[in-house]
Structure 1
């Protein structure tokens, strides 16, 4: 199929989903623009800050759209084009976007509280503690995988000959590896990260203290983003991957406890301009490539021993591998952790909750078409699932994406492959770091809430934002430095989508309290619980056989917490049904 036709069909389906199912879910939920949001009522200038819709959409989208919709579809394409394409479309419209909107809306109605706190109202303190623990484990898995992917992206090299550059070129700084000249494409992104982070407090000051117009802030933010790339070409920073992991952990420690407007929001605001440019660029490149006659270069289905060795059975592993591109429990942590505290009016919940998730699916679809239009299936496997001694070893999914972006922009828009490849790395880096810092801040929130449940009189140190930030970062580092991202990805995807299922369970229970029949949340919850518990059970067997103690313990904890929440949920609904029956009996007698 021509990639332009496939892209246009996909966009049409997403738009129809937004204006039909999305509006239906918002209407059934009871959105009311007249009810003041927590951001308006509390407005403490630290966490509760009424934010302009366009700014909040950028912050929320940059926070949720991390490596998931890029790396997930890239890995899952080993199953072929059709399975990935269908799940990215149907999964997001009926499950993923419903999940994100419902979590945001319910949190807004509950004073901006986290999804775990919302579960407390229906599942009690035990369910609350289970939810918090599950969320903390998930964030550890997400950030452990993303830390490694960031380090890989920021230290990537690629042969300059494959970028269409001659040995005497001066565009890229180079190094020689095994006699071949490689360009330091990751070093440019590294410099960009440093420059954007350094200027973030200035943007935050102008936006939230001087209240400059959003348009002016956007022009300034875009200028900073572009200048950071120009500086990167001249002064690419090349560091060891582990050093980058440590540096990002230190940055995340600072960003996780200082006021949100100083670094977190403005850095996302600056960075999201690169992400929007990337989305637009990929879309135009795909359409242009389609006009040039480029077609999808992959089998419709590739469900065989090869894909089995790479990931496992197509069900459940296709679903948990694509993860964030279709459904993501981590989004509920962001929606109920930071976004709900910044929503200025309920009428924007549909746009930011449901709409941003469709944008994430759009990103995932762009990734699919970019890769399958730029490289043939054999080249794709060489980059992502390379063979060594007859077995698949860890590949470089970030590089596969960046190279594909370069070739797509070249095919469709005539942009040199070298520039397009660098832009691909910049996009991936931007999505990664904007999620890592947000999630570490959320982990700090969850530890603070967990101590309130576990201790009647908690030690003073547990009230410290600095201590809770260090605790979360230390546990994540332990996991990140002992396992590769392709080992972590399946259990991350399983835990991520299981949290989505548990979130849908919690919001269904909340709606039940309000006498709203939320079938739009209950049915997806059942499907996702079955899918993810199956995947975790299969993974547990793998980890035990490979004697991976860290991931075995993590898997067991996730299963234990999940079964605990499911049990408490059934217990709650049985109790609720009994109470409703008792209420009806006197009415009938009367």
Structure 2
């Protein structure tokens, strides 16, 4: 219990300390018009209040990742707590803040555009492909996961295919309509449900005096299972997630003032880290040991969610908690498709003012996603995990470059970017879905690859610094 409480305290303290440090180093300009005003279009660029933006950002980034990931990561034991805290404070929250704020400074640009500007044209095309692939995987995963939870909640009396179809229909409307019509109005309510469910589970852990394991290196996986890199792939959204870099521009286009960025971007990542801590602790305390292995093997992380919710909160409270969990993937899936539409539209330079222009981009995405729902969920999750980790490294390198060009302390982003590069490459070289090499060989190859990437980054920093009057922040028009 002490490890759990200290971890929560560290996350909260970090928002007021390290988060403030990152904000000051970035350099907020309160008088600078944000894209919500300078590019207002009534569809994607619409000013919205800070509290509403905060809840929308939280729901955008917090899919099943901060719940399913920590539950599966709990099999590694309390060492998962370390990764959630350290990753969230020094990697995830920095990642979210920098990508969100740099997007604001560049007219609400998405990650592919930012990668092209700061890392080179090749990276623009590469990140476009990776980002759209990730968003398709996210959208698909976040259809199948809530559909399965709802199917279980309804005891099977509503067909799984019907539930899946209803979620897809909702996604189509949320993707196509202006951001303030569904997302802006419904998300604050759903966000409250999410927070209440997380607080309910966390509160009951304290009230019941749950035996949450203290910090050890115990690993509940079979002997020989390596913690690195799988733990860092499994627990992503609760620590650091490239998916977030695709979501931040949605809010970058609705933020009213730059001074709200720390609360919306850094702060909501801290909240997500707390949610991840609660579910990891619940899984460890209630099912520590072989029980958790067996439960996940039987019904996946979704079964653990149901068992935790109903055990701690009873029938009514458990139902509300499960609904809160269901809200997460649905409200990330819809914005995943929305982000994919916006990224493709920006790439091909097609205005999104007309609904027909949104339709011909969005519909093919849903067709591909429907086809992907026929794949095995576990396999989808693995592809999602490694793509997610790789994109987080790229996004952090974008933030590092932005700081490096100004001769600021870019290591706050470069160090986590380098670490996530090592994680991604090691997984690719060692995993069966990758090269399948033995771990020693994979470690060596990943180390060489990471050094090469870091060298290329240093070379690009030198080139960008040599460009006279490098346009870090694009000029904006005054608000109408």
TM-score by length of 1: 0.72
Q: Which residue of 2 aligns with 1:30?
A: 27
What is the rounded CA distance, in whole Å, between the counterparts of 1:407 and 1:242 in structure 2?
29
What is the rounded CA distance, in whole Å, between the counterparts of 1:462 and 1:130 in structure 2?
28
What is the rounded CA distance, in whole Å, between the counterparts of 2:419 and 2:275 in structure 1?
24
Unmatched tracts of structure 2, length 5 or more: 437-449, 469-480
- How many aligned positions are there? 453
Query: How far does residue 568 in structure 1 lie from its aligned partner after superposition?
Result: 6.9
Equivalence map 1:124-143=2 (5 Å): 124-143=120-139
Q: Does 1:245 align with 2:164?
A: yes
1:314 is paired with a residue whose SS is coil
1:315 is paired with a residue whose SS is coil
Which structure's CA Rg is the greater one? 1
Q: Does 1:535 align with 2:447?
A: no
What is the rounded CA distance, in whole Å, between the counterparts of 1:577 and 1:36 in structure 2?
26
Q: Which residue of 1 aligns with 2:268?
A: 356
Q: Which residue of 2 aligns with 1:405?
A: 309
What is the rounded CA distance, in whole Å, between the counterparts of 2:293 and 2:220 in structure 1?
14
1:378 to 290, 295, 300: 290
Q: Which residue of 1 aligns with 2:323?
A: 426
Deviation string 1:379-419 (CA, Å, 9 cap, x unpaired) is 22221134xxxxxxxx321121121122223xxxxxxx222
Q: Which residue of 2 aligns with 1:514?
A: 406
Query: How far does residue 492 in structure 1 lie from its aligned partner after superposition?
Result: 1.2
2:158 is paired with a residue whose SS is coil
Contact 2:175–2:337 (8 Å) recurs in 1: yes
Q: Which residue of 1 aligns with 2:374?
A: 481
Query: How far does residue 22 in structure 1 lie from its aligned partner after superposition?
Result: 0.8
What is the rounded CA distance, in whole Å, between the counterparts of 1:44 and 1:480 in structure 2?
34
Q: Does 1:575 align with 2:472?
A: no
Unmatched tracts of structure 1, length 5 or more: 157-184, 188-236, 387-394, 410-416, 546-561, 581-590
Query: How far does residue 569 in structure 1 lie from its aligned partner after superposition?
Result: 4.5
Contact 1:107–1:118 (8 Å) recurs in 2: yes
Q: Which residue of 1 aligns with 2:41?
A: 44
Equivalence map 1:94-109=2 (5 Å): 94-109=90-105
Equivalence map 1:35-74=2 (5 Å): 35-74=32-71
2:208 is paired with a residue whose SS is helix
Deviation string 1:159-209 (CA, Å, 9 cap, x unpaired) is xxxxxxxxxxxxxxxxxxxxxxxxxx346xxxxxxxxxxxxxxxxxxxxxx
1:313 is paired with a residue whose SS is coil
What is the rounded CA distance, in whole Å, between the counterparts of 2:375 and 2:464 in structure 1?
45
Query: How far does residue 449 in structure 1 lie from its aligned partner after superposition?
Result: 2.5
Contact 1:105–1:349 (8 Å) recurs in 2: yes
Distance change in 2, residues 1:77/1:508 (3 Å): same
Query: How far does residue 376 in structure 1 lie from its aligned partner after superposition?
Result: 4.1
Distance change in 2, residues 1:573/1:463 (3 Å): farther
Distance change in 2, residues 1:432/1:31 (3 Å): same
What is the rounded CA distance, in whole Å, between the counterparts of 1:478 and 1:565 in structure 2?
35
Query: How far does residue 284 in structure 1 lie from its aligned partner after superposition?
Result: 1.6
Q: Which residue of 1 aligns with 2:192?
A: 273
Deviates more, 1:352-361 or 1:423-432: 423-432
1:350 is paired with a residue whose SS is helix
